[in-house]
Structure 1
Amino acid sequence: MTLPPADSELGKLMATLPRPGRVEWIGLRPARAQAMREMTEVEAVAGKGLIGDRYASDSGKRGVTLIQAEHLPVIAALSGHASVLPSLLRRNVVVSGLPLIALKGRRFRIGAVVLEGTDECDPCSNMEKALGPGGFNAMRSHGGLCARIIEGGVFRLGDAVVALT
């Protein structure tokens, strides 16, 4: 995604976030079809992924997946559930307090880690199994953000999520 020029009206609007976000939950997928492991901290490797995650050896734009905490109740309501656990949605990080989609195409920091939002994290057919009939559609436009790891390091529960560019 190409961002508009920083000095344009749209560029200024897109660069303005209400406040930093906060890491509310961290999870790793150790292998295909295995349950997520909830973590209090995780190590990210630049150009790869999160140590202990099944995608840790992949390079590219999906090193970390994030979802917005404020969307969890929406997904629950749209899929006919009272609530949904973050582990059910199989994203690595739940973030509250800022609109994740605003980080698409931008660099941001979580703890010691610098990431770049690469694309929306669209749901897959597994959401039908996880959430029941209509689960895939309940997740559409609420699936979160994929990010590549630019600078590795550690981040933890409670760390701020801050836009850099």
Structure 2
Amino acid sequence: MATLPRPGQVQWIGLRPARDVAMRAVAGVEAIAGRGLVGDRYASGSGKRGITLIQAEHLPVIAALSGHDSVAPALLRRNVVVSGIPLVALKGRRFRIGQALFEGTDDCDPCSRMEAALGPGGYNAMRGHGGLCARILEGGMIAVGDSVQPVAAA
């Protein structure tokens, strides 16, 4: 269970500056320990959901299940899209992206907004593919292209 085939890689980063505002893609962002991402509306909230991640490999699945040719990452309202590593394996584990250290806290279940974003059935299309919530243990910069590396338990 502790062995992963390879590190992952950040493919996309997005921020929600305010409620009901479209996400904006960024090349990099500062993660603040115990808070969130600078410029994201959730940066002042609780630390359990300081960042949300989704697997790039799940985007075509969500698109297919919701009847679309493709799905843009911003539509799914997650902060970071990663490829090459199974996010579910990081639940309850520490991992590093760029300069920051994270701990996977919980599944990032879809919300009712997915019905509007993806159309009828959008919520169910995302079930099991919503990604991972994580707390930020050590802050620092993260950027598109950074590796996603599990950290061995101490």
| TM-score bin, normalised by smaller chain | over 0.9
- Alpha-carbon deviation of 1:59? 2.2
Superposed, 1:12-31 pairs within 5 Å as 14-31=1-18
| Whole-angstrom CA distance in 2 between matches of 1:16 and 1:127 | 33
1:135 to 104, 108, 122: 122
| Whole-angstrom CA distance in 2 between matches of 1:76 and 1:28 | 21
| Whole-angstrom CA distance in 2 between matches of 1:104 and 1:77 | 26
2:22 to 35, 46, 49: 35
1:56 to 20, 40, 43: 43
1:91 to 57, 78, 89: 78
Q: Which runs of 5+ in 2 are unaligned?
A: none
What is the match of residue 54 of structure 2? Answer: 67
Partner SS for 1:118 = strand
2:93 to 106, 112, 131: 106
* Amino acid corresponding to residue 66 of structure 1 in structure 2: L
| Whole-angstrom CA distance in 1 between matches of 2:113 and 2:18 | 15
* Amino acid corresponding to residue 72 of structure 1 in structure 2: L
* Amino acid corresponding to residue 119 of structure 1 in structure 2: D
| Backbone CA RMSD of aligned residues | 0.5
* Amino acid corresponding to residue 103 of structure 1 in structure 2: L
Count of aligned pairs: 152
What is the match of residue 102 of structure 2? Answer: 115
Which structure's CA Rg is the greater one?
A: 1
Kindly indicate whether residue 66 of structure 2 is the aligned counterpart of residue 76 of structure 1. Answer: no
Partner SS for 1:61 = helix
- Report the TM-score, using the length of structure 2 for normalisation: 0.98
- Report the TM-score, using the length of structure 1 for normalisation: 0.91
